[in-house]
Each structure stands twice: as structure tokens, then as C-alpha cells.
Structure 1
Amino acid sequence: MAKKTVASAASTAARPGRRERRDVRREAAVEAAFSLAEREGVAGLSMRRLGQELDVDAAGLYRLFRDKDELLLAMAERTIAMILDDLGEVAEDEPWQDTLRRIAEGTWQVQTRHPAVTILTFARTTGGPAEQRMVELILSAFARSGLAPDQAVLHYRTYVDTALGLCAHSAALNSLDPDVREKDETTWTRIYARLPEAAHPVTRSHIDELTRVTQKAIYDTAVEAVLAATERAGTERRNVSS
């Protein structure tokens, strides 16, 4: 009898608890939501369709997520966790600029892989553990730049909003119907390259360069501009202090 009791207790201890099982179901639902959004687009993600994807009643999803907005925040947390996973460890002696460059690159790569999810989530603030860690990492990088707290926060917000905004813009373009996207992409050659040179001399003289600019080049340039502004502000503060 004693052996049976111990075995039963061990079996009970080995079984996952209710909270753990709920977390697993939530993770599976978020994973399915990613697949559904990328396959069917922004408009394709609904609680009803997600229920069909998981082969469960939609009412069951509302036991995992209070509403669709809570699902979106969970998806946003997942994208941040992806960036953190790609980032890996941040060495204490890593230059703050390199940390921010690596975070920016990871953010770009996530939006490239998941444009629909980017459109749905990149404007959100989750308050979740992944976001908390990311905020700490980015703020720490700006603090290491030598800025005063108010300037560190201003440059932090500028960096984050610039990166997320440009990623969302690129994701929106990449989510367009292929025919529509091609029409937009060829506007420079279809329209601007044929403008009267007398009325638009500067545009015409730069048309080759205009057609070659990529979304990634714009993104990298914007990130570097924020870093350069941070370096200047840090140098000015040190000069004033000395």
C-alpha cells in the first residue's frame, strides 16, 4: 500500500499543473496565430478563424485570452522574444552602439519573416517580460553613451519609434498584393523618370539613384542617424562637464 501511495504521489507531481497546461495552450495558440496571419494576411486573423485553425471552439480561446487584443499583445511579446533570442548575450564591454545595431538588425529580420504580425503588433506596448528585458537592454545602452537621463530617454524613444515605424512601413509594403506592390515600386521609372526635365531638373538628375534605394538602406541610415545624434549629445555633455 505504501508503494502504491508513493507511486501515486510521484505520478501526480509529474503531471503538469493547470497553469502550466494553460501556458502550453496559449503558446500553441500564439504559434497558430502567427501562421494564420502570415498565410491569410492581417484581415485573416480572428478568434473564430484561430479556433478553426486549432480545431477548437472559439469560446475555448476566450479562456486563454480575454479578447483578441490580449492575443495581439501575446504575439507582440513573441516577436520581442524572437529578437532577444537572435541577440543572445550582451557582453558588458560591448560598445553601446554595437548593442543597438544588433537589436535594430534583429528587429528588421523579424519583420522580414513576419510582415503581417509586424503590422498587427509593432505599434503596441505589452508591458510583458520580454518587453521589460528589451527596455532594460536599450535604456542601458543609451545610459552607457554618457547622456543625461532625460536625453537618454529621448534618444531611446526616438531609436525605438524610428526602428518600429520603418519596420512597420516595410512590412505594409511587403504585405501588398504583388501587382499593387509592383505598381508602387515602378512608379519611379514609370512616372518620375519621364517628368519634364525643365520643370524637374533635380529629380531627373537623381532618378537612377532614386530607383536603387532600398527599404533596408533607409532603415540602416535612420538607425545610424539616431546613433550619431546620441554620440554628439554625449560628447557635448562631457565637454560641458569638463
Structure 2
Amino acid sequence: MNAAFQLAEREGPAGLSMRRLAQELEVDVSILYRLFRDKDELILALCERTIEIELDEIGAAPEQEAWQDTLRRIADVTWAYQIRFPAITLLSFARTTGGPSEARMVELLLSAFERAGLPPAQAVLFYRTFIDTALGLCAHSASLSTLAPEDREKDDSAWTRVYSRLPERQYPATTKHIHDLTAVTQKAIYTSAIEAILAAAEHAAAQHANRLPLITPPLAE
């Protein structure tokens, strides 16, 4: 696993193969096929290892911790991980392993949304929205960070190099907001999306609580 992490981060997602990993370890590739049926099984094992590392950093959710803060900590660790391991993020972000580490992560996330007071169907929907949004935006950031330096610079400068020169009469909204557009960071977008999901979950939980019938205590005999 450690060698696969290092190989992918050094040579990019496309550089990870069973044969290249065998060369890295200086073993015959047949040995790897005794451990993993194919490359996809290796990638799923990397996914599990990724989630395990994140869970270790997240730790348990203290009883007194607000559910929103639990989810914010998960989001922060997920973002920090893609900065450290962009290639592994790109290999693993869309996969479902069904393994023990993933099961623990699912339980942690669902428990947090349950503590919000959401009904089961909405807790599941917000859980999926939260994790898919977080992983998708992390993969987007990881993809940018793995670009060649000249390509990344081209993308980064597009707002000032292209959009700031658009004619105001034809693009009034864009030119009005050009300074703010150039200032937006990937992390700001990520944080905004996470907070929007938490706010929506709070709103849904409040609506659900307001619909609950009042429980009238029994009359004393």
C-alpha cells in the first residue's frame, strides 16, 4: 500500500499499474496477483486505506459535539487529504469499497445527520449529498493540482487574461463581478458548499420538528 501511494503520487494516477508497482517493489508481478485479483482490486484497497487514514485523523465524535461540527471536521480532513495525496484522491473519490473502513465512515456520517433530527429518508439524502459534494470538489481540486505547471498557470490566469477583457456592454454581469471572480479560491467554494448543505439540513430538521404532533401527557387519575 505504501509503495502504491508513493508511485501514484510521483507518476500520477495513470502511472499506477500492477507491473509498475512490481518494478517499484523489485518483485515479480505474479506476486502482486496473489494479493490482488487485478488493478481494480488494488485501487479498492487503496480506497479503504485512504478512509482508514482519514478516520484516524477525524477520531470519535464526542457526545457533546454539535452534529454540524462533526461534519465540519470530516470535511476539513477530507480537504486536507486531497492536498496531500491528489493522485490517490483521483483514483478513489468515486469508488465504493464495501469494506470495514468505509462502513465506519458511513456510520459516522449517518449518525451525525440523525443527530440533526432528520427523518431517515432525509438523513440518508443529506448524507449522500454531503459526501458526494465533498469528494467531487476534492477531486476537482486534486485534478487541478496534478496539471502540468504551465497548464495550471493558464487556467489560473484565465479570469484576468480573458474574462477581465470582455466588453462591458455585452457582458455586464461578468465585468461587474470580475474582481470577486478572480479572488475566489477552491477552498472557499468547498467551504461554501459544505455550509450550504449543513444549513439546508438544519432547515429540513426544523421543518420536520414543527410537523411532529404534540404529545399530550396522560391525565392524572
Determine if the TM-score, normalized by the shorter chain, exceeds 0.5. Answer: yes
Q: Write the mapping of 1:25-174 to structure 2, written as runs, cut at 5 A.
A: 30-174=1-145
1:233 Cα deviation (Å)? 0.2
Output the CA distance in 2 between the equivalents of 1:179 and 1:59.
Answer: 39
- Please give the alpha-carbon distance, in whole angstroms, between the structure 1 residues aligned to 2:150 and 2:52: 33
Q: How does 1:135-214 map to 2 (within 5 A)?
A: 135-214=106-185
Separation in structure 2 between the aligned mates of residue 131 and residue 104 of structure 1, nearest angstrom: 15
| Residue 52 of structure 1, CA deviation | 0.4
The CA deviation at 1:79 is 1.1
Cα distance in 2 between the residues matched to 1:87 and 1:166: 19
Gaps of 5+ in 2: 214-221
Q: Which has the larger radius of gyration?
A: 1
Distance 1:154 1:99 in 2: 17
User: What is the Cα deviation at residue 85 of structure 1?
Assistant: 1.1
Once the two structures are TM-superposed, the CA of residue 89 in structure 1 deviates from its matched residue by 2.3
In structure 2, C-alpha distance between the alignment counterparts of 1:62 and 1:190, rounded to whole Å: 50
Q: AA paired with 1:152? A: A
- How many residues were matched structurally? 213
The Cα shift of 1:111 comes to 0.6
Q: What's 1:217 paired with?
A: 188
Instruction: Tell me the TM-score normalized by structure 1.
Output: 0.87
Provide the residue aligned with 1:12 in structure 2.
none
SS in 2 for 1:62: helix
The alignment status of 1:228 with 2:199, answered yes or no, reads yes
Query: Which is further off, 182-191 or 80-89?
Result: 80-89
TM-score normalised per structure 2 = 0.95
Indicate the percent of aligned positions where both proteins have the same amino acid: 65
Provide the C-alpha distance between the structure 1 equivalents of 2:61 and 2:168, rounded to a whole number of angstroms: 52
Q: State the Cα RMSD in Å.
A: 0.7
**Partners in 2 of 1:78 and 1:111 — Cα distance?**
14
Distance 2:75 2:53 in 1: 13
Distance 2:128 2:161 in 1: 38
The 2-side partners of 1:238 and 1:170 are apart by 37
